Chains A and B, each alone.
Chain A
Amino acid sequence: MPALSVKSLHKSYGQLHAVNGVSFEVVRGDVFALLGPNGAGKSTTIEILEGFLKRDGGEVSVLGVDPGERGEQRWLRTRIGVVLQELTVEPFFSVRQVLERNAGYYPSPRAVDEVIELVGLRDKADVKVKKLSGGQQRRLDIGLGIVGNPELLFLDEPTTGLDPAARRMTWELIRALSCQGTTVVLSSHYMDEVEALASHVVVLTKGRIAASGTPSSLGGRDMGKVAISFTMPEGIAVADLPVTPSCLEGLRVEIDTDCELEVLSRLTHWALEEKVSLAGLCVMRQTLEDVYLRLTHEALTSKDEVHS
C-alpha cells in the first residue's frame, strides 16, 4: 500500500479551478517533492491531504484512510506531522515547553530530548521561543513536526530562511527520517534541495501536473540538449571553428546539441591539430532549475494546453 495516493483530485475556489485533476502516488519511506510556482495548487493539494480542506472531487488516501472523513481525522493526525511555512509557536514558551506540550497530544511521541538533539537546539532548550533567531525558530517548527513520531511528514519549504550549515543539517535530518521509514512530502523553491533529497518529483502548474519523474530525468532532462562551452582561442574567428556556435557571449562560445560526443570529438580533434587551447571547456546538462523554469514557463505562456 502506498503511503499516499491521489486520483483525479479537484478543488475550486469560486471561479478558480485551483486543483484540476491531479493524480500521483507516494511510496512508503520515499521523499516526494511537490513543486510549482505560487498559486499552482501545491498548498491546496497539501491541505487536502492533511485533512484541513475539503476536496470537490477525486479519491484521496493517506496512510490508507480518507483524510476528508471526519471520523478518521483524529487517528490520522496521530500518524502525520506537519511543518507549515510560517512559524506558529507561542513566543512566551521555552523550546522544551512547547515540545513537551505537543508531545502530550500523541499516543507514542518521540522523547523530547531526542527531538531537541535532532534539530540541533540543545543549547537553546530552555530559551524562550521569541528569543530564538529565525533559523532556530524554523528548526523548532520541524521539531514540532516530528515530535509525534509520524509515519508521514509534510514539510512546507523547510529550509527557507536557514543559513547553509543549518540547511545541510536539516537535509541530514530528512534523510535520516527517510531511512527510518518516514515518508516525507516536501515542497520547496530550492532545486538543489529537491535534487539532494527527493526520489520523486511532481511539478504543478495552474492546478495540473506539468511533469513528474525522478529529479534526474524530469522533463527529459537526461535526454535533452547538452550545453558545451569554452572561451574563444586567440586569433581564431568564428568561421574557423569546426562547429557552429549556438550563441556567443563576449569571448564565450556555447554550442547546444543532442549529439555531444560527435561535437566534442570534432572540437578536440580540431583543437589538437591547430594547437589551440579550449580554455574553460565545460559540458553541462540542464540543471533541475532549468527544467523547472522551462516547464513552468511553458504553462504560463500557453493559455489552454499544458505541455508535459
Chain B
Amino acid sequence: MSVDVAPLKDHTWTGDLRLVVHQVRYEQKAFWINKTGAMFTIGFSVIFLIMLGATNGTQTISYLDNITNDQYYVPGFIAYGIMAACFSMLTSNLVTRRETGLLKRLRLTPLPAWALLSAIFLSTAIVALVQAAVLLVIGRFGYGVAFPRAWLAFLIVVVVGIACFTAMGVAISSVIPNQETAGPVTSVAFFVLLFLSGLWFPLPPHSGLETFSTFFPVRHFLTAVRAPFEQQAGMSAWPWHDLGIVAIWGVVAGFIALRKFRWSPHRG
C-alpha cells in the first residue's frame, strides 16, 4: 500500500539553512578527523614562520621602510595559510572526492549542489580563519608583531582572499584528471607562484620578478594582507588596487568553476 504524502516542493529557507549547517558540521568533522592533514595545513605556515623568524627575523628590509623580516613574514604566512587551505587543500580534497565517487553519491541524495558547495566554502573559510588567528597570536606574542590596526580592512582582505582562492581551487580541481596528479599539480603550481611572488624573500622593487608576479593574484594578495598592518609610512590600510586584482581573479575563476564543475569520476 502506498501512502500519498503532499509533495515537499516548497523548501523553506530555514530548512535550507539547516541543511547547510548540517553539511558544514560534517565537512569540519572530516577535516579535523584527518589529524595529519589538519596539522599539515595549519602547521605548515606556523613552522615556516618560526623557521624563517629564527633565521633572520630581526633584520630589517631597507626598501620596505626598514620593517623587520618578522613584520614581513607574519602577514605573508597568514596569506600563505589562506591560500594553502583554500587552494591546495581544497583542490586535492575535491579531486579525491570526485574520483572515488563520493561526489556522485552525494548527488544522488536530496542535498542540493549549491548547499554542498556553500558548505565546502564555509568549512574551508573556517579552517583559513582559524589559521589566520593562530598566526596573528604567534606573531603578536612570539615576535612582537602588532595586530593589524585596520581591522575591518584586514577582515575584508581575508574574506576576499578566501573567496578568490576557493574559486581557483574549485576551477583547478575540475581540470585535474585523477587523484594521483592532484597533489603534484597543485603543489608545483602553488609553490612556484609563491616563490615568484615573494613569500619567502621580499621582492626588490622594479625587478623582473616583481613585474612577472603582478600578473598573478598571489603577489597582490600578499601585499593586500600586509597593508592593514600599516607598518610602512605612507602605505594605505585599504589596498584597493591589489584587492581589486584578487577579486577579478576570483570572479573569473568562479565563473570557470561553476561552468566546469563535475560530479562523476573521469574513469568510467
Interface residues of chain A, those whose CB is within 8 Å of chain B, are 28-29, 50, 52, 74-75, 77-78, 82, 84, 86, 88-90, 92-93, 97, 101-102, 104-107, 144, 148, 151, 181
Contact = CB atoms under 8 A, between A and B. Distances in A.
B8 A104 contact: no
Contact of B110 (A74, A84, A101): A74
B30 A105 contact: no
Contact of B19 (A102, A105, A151): A105
A262 B22 CA distance: 70
B33 A86 contact: no
A90 B30 contact: yes
A84 B107 contact: no
Contacts of A84: 101, 104-105, 108
Q: How large is the interface on B (under 10, 10 to 19, 20 to 34, 35 or more residues)?
A: 20 to 34
B22 A104 contact: yes
Contacts of A148: 109-110
B60 interface: no
A105 B110 contact: yes
B111 A88 contact: no
A101 B26 contact: yes
Given A75-B9, A105-B19, A92 B112 contact: no
A78 B110 contact: yes
Contacts of B9: 75
Given A74-B110, A75-B9, A77-B109, A90 B19 contact: no
Interface string B24-43: 00100110011000000000
A50 B109 CA distance: 10
A88 B104 contact: yes
A92 B33 contact: yes
A151 B30 CA distance: 30
Nearest to B7: A75
B108 A82 contact: yes
Contact of A88 (B1, B30, B102, B112): B102
A78 B100 CA distance: 23
Contact of A105 (B2, B33, B100, B109): B109
A107 B8 contact: yes
28 contacts: A29-B1, A50-B108, A52-B107, A74-B110, A74-B112, A75-B7, A75-B8, A75-B9, A78-B8, A78-B110, A82-B108, A88-B102, A89-B102, A89-B105, A92-B30, A93-B29, A97-B26, A97-B29, A101-B23, A102-B109, A104-B19, A104-B22, A105-B19, A105-B110, A105-B111, A107-B8, A148-B109, A181-B2
B263 to A, nearest CB: 8
A97 B30 CA distance: 10
Contacts of B110: 74, 77-78, 105-107, 148
A29 B26 contact: no
Contact of A93 (B3, B30, B107, B109): B30
Grouping DSSP codes into helix (H, G, I), strand (E, B) and loop, the B interface class, with mixed when no group exceeds half, is loop
Nearest to B9: A75
A151 B100 CA distance: 27
Contacts of B2: 28-29, 151, 181
A88 B100 contact: yes
A86 B101 contact: yes
A52 B7 contact: no
Contacts of B104: 52, 84, 88
B206 interface: no
Contacts of A82: 108
Contacts of A107: 8, 110
A106 to B, nearest CB: 6
B161 to A, nearest CB: 28
B259 interface: no
Interface string B86-112: 000000000000001110110111111
B3 A88 contact: no
Contacts of A151: 2
Contacts of A78: 8, 110
A107 B8 CA distance: 8
Contacts of A181: 1-3
A40 to B, nearest CB: 16
A17 B111 CA distance: 32
A97 B109 CA distance: 16
Contacts of A93: 29-30, 33
Given A75-B9, A77-B110, A78-B8, 4 more contacts: A29-B1, A89-B102, A105-B22, A181-B1
Interface centre among B7, B11, B30, B109 (most CB of A within 10 A): B109
Contacts of B22: 101, 104-105
Interface centre among A102, A105, A144 (most CB of B within 10 A): A105
Contacts of B111: 105
B218 to A, nearest CB: 31
Nearest to B11: A74
A50 B29 CA distance: 29
